Each structure stands twice: as C-alpha cells, then as structure tokens.
Structure 1
Amino acid sequence: MDNQEARTIATKALSLLDLTNLKDDCTPEQIVTLCQRAQTPFGPTAAVCIWPRFVMQARDLLVHASPIRIATVVNFPSGEMTIEDVLAETRDAVADGADDIDLVIPYRALAAGDEQAVTDMVTAVKAACGPAILKTILETGELKDKALIRRAADLSIAAGADFIKTSTGKVSLNATLEAADIMLQSIRDSRKKVGFKPAGGISSVADAGLYLRLADTIMGEDWVMPPTFRFGASGLLDDILAVLSGEDPVATASGY
C-alpha cells in the first residue's frame, strides 16, 4: 500500500470511526479527552462510543460538534440482563442524549438453541430506541460457528436492527474478516438497509483497508458510508492521524 492509498483509506476510516472508551475504569476526565480527540484537525470521527453513565456529559461536551454522534452500550458486555433491565438502560440512555444504542444480543442463549431470546430482545430494544439507531453486537468470537454467526445476523436484521456489529471488544477473539464476510452476506441477502460495524482489535489503517475492501466486494463500492459502516475502535485513531500527518504508523494491538 503506497502513501496515497494509505491516506485515502485513513481519510475514509476517520469518517467511519466510532472512537471508543469502554474501559471498566473509565473516568469523566477520560471522556473529556475522548471528545476532544474525536474533533481532529482532519475532520471529526463519526461518533464516540462510551458507557451509559457518560452520555449526558458527552452530550454537553459535543453540543457544538453536531456531526459527532454519541453511541452507548446496553446489555453490555454479558448479554445476559433481563429485557426489562435492558429497556430501562436504553430509555435512560436515549433520554440522556444517545444517538446510537449498541445492544449485546443474548448470544449465550442463542448458542444454547434459544433463537426467540434474540428476537424478543432486539424487537423490544428497537421499540425503545425512539430516534436512536440500534446496533446489535453478536459477539462473533464467542459464537464461533459460521452457521450460528449467520443465524445471529439474520435474526437481528429480521427483528429490526439498524446495524449488526461483531464484538464487544471484551473477549479474546473480536472482529475477524471471516465473521465480517458472513455478516455482510447476511445484510446483502436481506435486501434491507442495514449497516455493519466491525469492532475490537482493529488498530491500523492497513487492517481497516481490508474490511473496507471486503465490504466493497460484497456490497458494492458505493455502499460504505457512515450510515452503513462504522469501525468500533480506540487505537485506530492514532494510526489514522499518523498516516494523515505523514508520520510513521503507530498502530498497536488493543482490546478495543
């Protein structure tokens, strides 16, 4: 990949980035830094992705940076909360100013054969999202089986998900090109306007380029844009900025 190609990919990846801090010990001070970093000299990221407790703070910080969406997580990371508790989380987050709700599906229940648990959860949370968009996290690294990943994607889309997302970033295996391929084919075959979000472990512009090329191949070269594609990452921004600044790559592997 030459410098011009790297810059082109970096520019596109920046516009698609959900800049993330879902560390268990995240502080209000780190949210200030995150929101500042999302407003780069080369343009804004698509969103920040944060714990629900920080949504209201981020809304205040980004009030003058309207293009940057606020994403938050529910039923996270276990996927094992009750529907009632997840609905309460969702309603509170939307009331606080969340634009995107990233929901962990009950993937363990699905793996045990309970497909209805996924349908019921996604349907209910979608209804509670109001104007917010719903991304369903499949936790593909834990599902492992190709057919099960495809079923999780199909069920989520059928129940009303606006996006399907690979991972929480909290398990040992997160985004992979294999899972991305399965999920993008599910979106294509659904013929619905549904987006895709690989998340966890994508830390370099080179890696981002692989996912973008895969999406172009399956969905067509005019499909990838912020309403249909996001990267969930924390470390990727460092490498994007290095490439756009003409510096050496700084990518390091990280959980999210």
Structure 2
Amino acid sequence: MSGTEITLVDIASRVLPLLDLTSLNDADDADSTAVLCAKAVTPVGNVAAVCLWPSFIPQAKQALSGSGVKVATVVNFPGGSLPADKVVDQIARALADGADEIDVVMPYAAVMAGMGGDQRAQDHLAACREACGPVTMKVILESGALAKPALIERAAQVAVAAGADFLKTSTGKVPAGATPGAARIMLTACREAGRPVGFKASGGIRDVETAAQYLALADEICGPGWASPATFRFGASGLLDALLGVLGQGPAVTVTAGY
C-alpha cells in the first residue's frame, strides 16, 4: 500500500466500525453510561462495542438492544493482581448480566517476575478462558508495564496458549499505552497463533492519523484483508470525536498510506 493515495475520510470510515468506545473512569455513573451508549450509534455507522465497568452492563444492554453494538466489560482490572477464583467470579457475574465480551487483565507481574511466572499466568488465564465459555475473551497484556520486547512477546505467547481471542495492549491506567513497537510484536503473535487471534490497540490513541499507523501495521503483518471487527479493535474514547469530525467535513484531506 506504500505510496497509495487515500484520504482521512477513507481511514475514518474504516476505523469507526472497529472501535470499542470506552469509559472506565472513577466518576462514571448512569448518566455518563447513557451518553456513552448514545454516542455508540452514529449517523455514519455504529461502533463495534462499548467497554465499561461491570456495574453498567445491564443499562448498556438495554440501551443498545437491536443496535448490533456489543457490550464489553473488564475484569481483574486494572492491576491484574486478583487470584483466579475471584476473576472467575467477576466473569460469571458479568456474563449473567449480559456481557458480550470480556477484557481480562493478565497477571503480567508474574511474567515480569520469571521463575515459573509464565506458567502461573497461563493457568490463571486458562481458568478465565473456561469461565468465558464461547464469549470473546480479550487479554490485556499491559505492554507499557512489560516494556521490554522480550517480555511483551512472552506475555503474548502465554495469552495465546491460554486461549485468548484477542491480545490487547493496555488498560489505559499506566503511563505508557499502546505503541507501534508493542503492536508489531503482538500482531506477529496473532499471525503465528495457528488459529484466529485478534488484536486490540488501547491506550492513548486519540486521532485518525495515529489509528492509521496501527491499521497499516495490521495490513503489513497480517494482510490487507485481515482487520475487521472480528479481528481488530481500537479501545478509545476521544477517538470517536476525531473520527466523526473527519467524516463530517467537506473536502477530504489527502494523506499517504503507510506513513
């Protein structure tokens, strides 16, 4: 795709249906959840999912009924430090309330510690996988905390071995969110998984140009037809406003793909 002229409108149109519109703020309440769900359904298409605290699942399910927008929630969030049985309970409650997707923070500190930590993390995630059943399980590696490429690669391999449906970069609760370097490692793990495994870029993605960089990586590593809502997501909040701004403009701004 290098050198191919595309527009920001083209990019925004591609990104919008891949968005997990997210709100995981301490001040979230019923009113903010209503606003989030209303924003998920736009005149130019709907987002893939909303991602919110477990307590707001029933409200979101009702608000988004019939829209095709999935309801995702988080467990073992944000530190990844709860014991597996507690996380399994969180998953069971979320599914009982109607969650369509579960974003689980892996016990990444175990991977960082070494000395059998990979196996402990894999066993933990395998229990989560069993609790999720057929429901999509996105595993948050917290790549900004792992930081080192070798640790990110190991964490990705652990998550894939435990049955992850998606590898997700970040919680958004540590200083370093998604980076192209971490994305490249994780997308390579998706490609080499031997089964369908998707990728979710989350943490600090706020504009269309940045989103385009991650799509270009996915096209390069996994193939130009690979990224779809079933395999690729952006976890963000402000990105939607940027997308709608581009899609609501008059003359399109031209950029070069793959920059």
TM range (shorter): over 0.9
Match among 29, 32, 47 for residue 34 of structure 2: 32
Q: Percent same amino acid at aligned positions?
A: 49
2:31 maps to 1:9: no
Count of residues in correspondence between the two structures: 248
Unaligned segments of structure 2, at least 5 residues: 253-259
2:163 maps to which residue? 160
Q: Which residue of 1 aligns with 2:237?
A: 234
Task: Select the structure with the greater relative contact order (CA < 8 A; seq sep ≥ 6).
Answer: 2
Deviations 1:168-212 (A, max 9, x none): 000000000000000011111222200000101000010000000
Q: Secondary structure at the match of 1:168?
A: coil
- Checking the alignment, whether the CA contact within 8 Å between 1:74 and 1:86 is kept in structure 2 is yes
Distance 1:56 1:187, change over 3 A: same
Which 5+ residue runs of structure 1 have no aligned equivalent?
250-256
1:198 is aligned to: 201
2:122 aligns with 119
Native 8 Å contact 1:7 1:244 kept in 2: yes
- Deviation of the 1:130 alpha carbon: 2.3
Q: Does 1:23 align with 2:28?
A: no
Q: Structure 1: how far apart are the matches of 2:248 and 2:36?
A: 19
Q: What is the rounded CA distance, in whole Å, between the counterparts of 2:169 and 2:251 in structure 1?
A: 29
Q: 1:130 to 1:190 in 2, by over 3 A?
A: closer
Give the Cα–Cα distance (whole angstroms) in 1 for the partners of residues 250 and 182 of structure 2.
Answer: 32
Over the aligned positions, Cα root-mean-square deviation in angstroms equals 1.7
Greater displacement, 113-122 / 83-92: 113-122
**1:110-149 map, 5 Å:** 110-113=111-114, 114-149=117-152
State the 4+ residue runs in structure 1 displaced beyond 6 angstroms: none
Q: Show the 5 A alignment for 1:153-232.
A: 153-232=156-235
Report the equivalent of 2:83. Answer: 82
Whole-angstrom distance in 2 between the partners of 1:2 and 1:171:
36
Using structure 2 for the length normalisation, give the TM-score: 0.93
Following the alignment from structure 2 to structure 1, what is the Cα–Cα distance between the partners of residues 8 and 208? 7
